[in-house]
C-alpha cells in the first residue's frame, strides 16, 4: 500500500527518488535549494504579514508579494489556512478514492454540461489521472460519501475563500488601488471556484509518464495542496521546469489566466504539468481554481492600458471564456491562447 495522505513527502535527488517523513519536508526543501537553480527558487509569502499592524513590515511584505507575482507568477503561501485543515482535506480526498469503489465514483461521470460534480478516469499516453471535480463556490457541491469528506474539504474551501479575498486586497493595494478593487472587478464574493481532486497514477497504473499535460488554468489564481512532493512542475519565466516542493504548512499559489488578462500581461499565468514517477508513488493533489463570477466581463484594466501598452487580450465573460472551446464550466479549461490579441507578448 502506498503512503497515507499527509504523512509522507517525496523528493527527487537527481535520478533517485526517496520517500521521506512530512516532518522533514522543511529541512529537505532547504537542502534542495542548494542543488536547484537558485534563480528559480519559488518565493515564499507569509500571508499574515500582508496585514501586519506594523506599517513597515506590511509594506515590505506587500512589496515581496508584488515581486513574487510579477517576477515569478507563483509562490508558496504560509499562514493562510491552518495546517490541520489542509491535512484533514487531503485525508478526505484520500478516503474518497480509497473507501469508495470505482462503481460508486463513476456515478459522478458526465451527465450534462451543467454538472456541478464530475468524476473522470484518464489513462492514455497524454493524460493519466483519476479526478473528482466539484464546484466549491458560490454554492458548494460534494459527494456525501464517505462520511466527513464533505465537511473536511468544505472547511478547506471556507479557509481558502477568505485567503482569496485577502490576496485580492493585498494585490489591489500593490497596484495602487483601494483594497476592494479586484474583489469588485472580479465579483469574487460570487466567484466561480472549481476544485479538481486528483489521484496519480489512476488506479495505481498509468499508460505513459504524463499525469496532466502542460497547460495554464483560467481564473484569478489556483491554490494547490498535495500529499507528497514531486510530480507537479511549473515552467518559470526563465524557461526552466521547476518542481513544486511545497514546504510544510504552505499552499502553492499559481496566478491564473484572468489575472494575466486583467493586468494586460504584467502578471503571467504559468504553464505547469504533472509528470509521473513510473507508478512508484501514489500522489493526491487538490487544485482549486478561484475564478470571477461567471457573468463577470474580464478585460485588461484601464490602469494597464495606454498608447504604448494597448490591450493584449480580448474581453469576454468568464462563462464565455470557459465555454469557448466547447468545454463545460466544470472542466475549467483555459482559452488564453484564443484571447490573446496579436499585440500580446
Ligand atoms: O495535480 C497537480 O499537481 C496539478 C493538477 C492541475 O494542474 C489541474 O488540475 O489543473
Ligand atoms: Fe492546472
pLDDT level of residue 247 (50, 70, 90 thresholds):
very high
Q: Residue whose CA is closest, atom 3 of ligand 1?
A: 232
pLDDT in tens, 114-138: 999 999 999 999 999 999 999 999 9
With contact defined as beta carbons under 8 Å apart, do 91 and 152 qualify?
A: yes
CA 98 to centroid of ligand 2, rounded, Å: 23
Cα angle 258, 63, 238 (rounded to 5 degrees) comes to: 60
CA distance 63 to 50: 9
Q: Is 116 exposed, middle or buried (0-12, 13-18, 19+ CB in 10 A)?
A: middle
**Residue 198 beta carbon below 6 angstroms from any ligand 1 atom:** yes
The average pLDDT across 314-343 equals 95
Q: Residue whose CA is closest, atom 5 of ligand 1?
A: 287
**Residue 160 beta carbon below 6 angstroms from any ligand 1 atom:** no
CA 74 to centroid of ligand 2, rounded, Å: 12
Which of 198, 206, 197, 203 lies closest to 276, judged by CA? 206
pLDDT in tens, 171-194: 999 999 999 999 999 999 999 999
Q: What is the pTM of this model?
A: 0.89
Q: Which of 74, 212, 225 for a ligand 1 pocket mutation test, highest count of atoms within 8 Å of Cβ?
A: 212
As for the ipTM of the complex, it is 0.99
Q: What is the pLDDT of residue 30?
A: 30
CA 215 to centroid of ligand 2, rounded, Å: 6
**Residue 250 beta carbon below 6 angstroms from any ligand 1 atom:** no
Amino acid at each position: 500500500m502506498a503512503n497515507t495522505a499527509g504523512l509522507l513527502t517525496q523528493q527527487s535527488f537527481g535520478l533517485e527518488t526517496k520517500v521521506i517523513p512530512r516532518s522533514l519536508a522543511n529541512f529537505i526543501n532547504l537542502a534542495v535549494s542548494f542543488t536547484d537553480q537558485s534563480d528559480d527558487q519559488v518565493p515564499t509569502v507569509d500571508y499574515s504579514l500582508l496585514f501586519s499592524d506594523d506599517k513597515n513590515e506590511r509594506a515590505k511584505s506587500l512589496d515581496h508579494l508584488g515581486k513574487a507575482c510579477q517576477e515569478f507568477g507563483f509562490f508558496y503561501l504560509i499562514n493562510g489556512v491552518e495546517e490541520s485543515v489542509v491535512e484533514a482535506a487531503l485525508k478526505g480526498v484520500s478516503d474518497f478514492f480509497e473507501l469508495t469503489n470505482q462503481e460508486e465514483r463513476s456515478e459522478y461521470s458526465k451527465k450534462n454540461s451543467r454538472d456541478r460534480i464530475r468524476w473522470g478516469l484518464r489513462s492514455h499516453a497524454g493524460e493519466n489521472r483519476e479526478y473528482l471535480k466539484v464546484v466549491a463556490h458560490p454554492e458548494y457541491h460534494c459527494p456525501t460519501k464517505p462520511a466527513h469528506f464533505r465537511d473536511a474539504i468544505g472547511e478547506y474551501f471556507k479557509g481558502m475563500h477568505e485567503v482569496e479575498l485577502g490576496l485580492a486586497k493585498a494585490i489591489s493595494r500593490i497596484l495602487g488601488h483601494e483594497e476592494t478593487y479586484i474583489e469588485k472587478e472580479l465579483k469574487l464574493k460570487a466567484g466561480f471556484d472549481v476544485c479538481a481532486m486528483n489521484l496519480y497514477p489512476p488506479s495505481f497504473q498509468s499508460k505513459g509518464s504524463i499525469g496532466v499535460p502542460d497547460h495554464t488554468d483560467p481564473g484569478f489564481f489556483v491554490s494547490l495542496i498535495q500529499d507528497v512532493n514531486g510530480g507537479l512542475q511549473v515552467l518559470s519565466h526563465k524557461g526552466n521546469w521547476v518542481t513544486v516542493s511545497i514546504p510544510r504548512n504552505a499552499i502553492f499559489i499559481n496566478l491564473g489566466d484572468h489575472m494575466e488578462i486583467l493586468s494586460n500581461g504584467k502578471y503571467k499565468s504559468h504553464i505547469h504539468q504533472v509528470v509521473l514517477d513510473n507508478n512508484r508513488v501514489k500522489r493526491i493533489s487538490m487544485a482549486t481554481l478561484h475564478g470571477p463570477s461567471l457573468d463577470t466581463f474580464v478585460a485588461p484594466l484601464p490602469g494597464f492600458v495606454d498608447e504604448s501598452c494597448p490591450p493584449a487580450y480580448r474581453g469576454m465573460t468568464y462563462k464565455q471564456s470557459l465555454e469557448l472551446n466547447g468545454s463545460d464550466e466544470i472542466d475549467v479549461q483555459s482559452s488564453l491562447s484564443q484571447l490573446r490579441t496579436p499585440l500580446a507578448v
